Amino acid sequence: MKSIKREGLVDLVASLCIKANLVLPKYQKEKLEWALENETSPLGKKLISQIIENYKIAEKTGLAICQDCGLAVVFLEAGRDVHLDFDIYEAIKDGVAKGYSEGHLRPSVLHSCVDRTNTKTNTPAIIHTQIVDGDKITLTVTPKGGGSENASRLAMLKPYEGKQGIVDFVVKTVRENGPSACPPVTVGIGFGGTIEECALLAKKALLAENRSEELGDMEKEILELCNNLGFGPAGLGGKISVLDVHILSTGCHIATMPVAVNIQCHAARKATGEI
């Protein structure tokens, strides 16, 4: 059993919030380079160059990649051999507040959808917990911008619609909403489970960096269909509208076929650390 100190965890969360907002993951940088090579429209190429230049400036100067520093979505993997004598959710919340304040990151969270006053701490964060083996806590902070979150959709399809129904729903969602989600986007898809489970799978799918072993062909098929839509970088026309597609699925009830599409903008930020 390992004891973890509250202060260390708060500091880790704070540093991950700052890192995620300043430094794009290697995978995302490589995807943007791929987009630059493969974009055929001159304007599209220019826009991707600017996106690349922007993240390089952010990394060099310590300024955020985007003015929308996102809602802090935190994936928490808690080892079963960890001992805590504090409320970990409160500690994560304090870490997010610290990171957003010290990193001069824009607080974008409201007390409620109705009163719409800013909490000024970028909290509450959204925290998803998984209990795992071991004596460590692993945290992934993935700030999610409002523009791309607004472009996301969920449907309870009819089971008879089958795989084609899922593909059609995803492509329709990307066609209708992708242009306003700061493309080139990444598409996270979750299907199966219940209404809340498939939404979480779609969000988790955005963290993937490799092809799914089981659903890789479907990912490639949807990627190609989406890149035939032609809205391109910044929605101003071009070949590369979507950088990648990732799918996670689970079993579902015989009478249901839940599908969620979570769209991520070109500022696909995440940072992982452990304590």
**Residues near ligand SF4, by CB under 6 A:** 66, 68, 70, 145-148, 181-182, 265-267
Helix, strand, coil % in the chain, rounded to nearest 5:
45, 25, 35
Residue among 92 and 265 whose Cβ is closer to ligand SF4: 265
Helix (H, G, I), strand (E, B) or coil at 21: helix
Residue among 54 and 212 whose Cβ is closer to ligand SF4: 54
Residue among 23 and 88 whose Cβ is closer to ligand SF4: 23
> At closest approach, how far in Å is the CB of 219 from ligand SF4?
22
Tokens (6 digits) for 103: 């990193």
> At closest approach, how far in Å is the CB of 143 from ligand SF4?
8
246-258 CB burial, b ≥16 within 10 A, e <16: bbbbeebeeeebb
Q: Is the distance from CB of 184 to CB of 130 less than 8 angstroms?
A: no
Residue among 145 and 258 whose Cβ is closer to ligand SF4: 145
> At closest approach, how far in Å is the CB of 148 from ligand SF4?
4
Residue among 142 and 249 whose Cβ is closer to ligand SF4: 142
Residue nearest to ligand SF4 (CB): 145
* Cα-based distances in Å from 68 to 83, 106, 238: 35, 7, 25
> At closest approach, how far in Å is the CB of 90 from ligand SF4?
27
> At closest approach, how far in Å is the CB of 66 from ligand SF4?
3
Question: Which residue, among 202, 169, 176, has the nearest Cα to 187 in the 3D structure?
Answer: 202
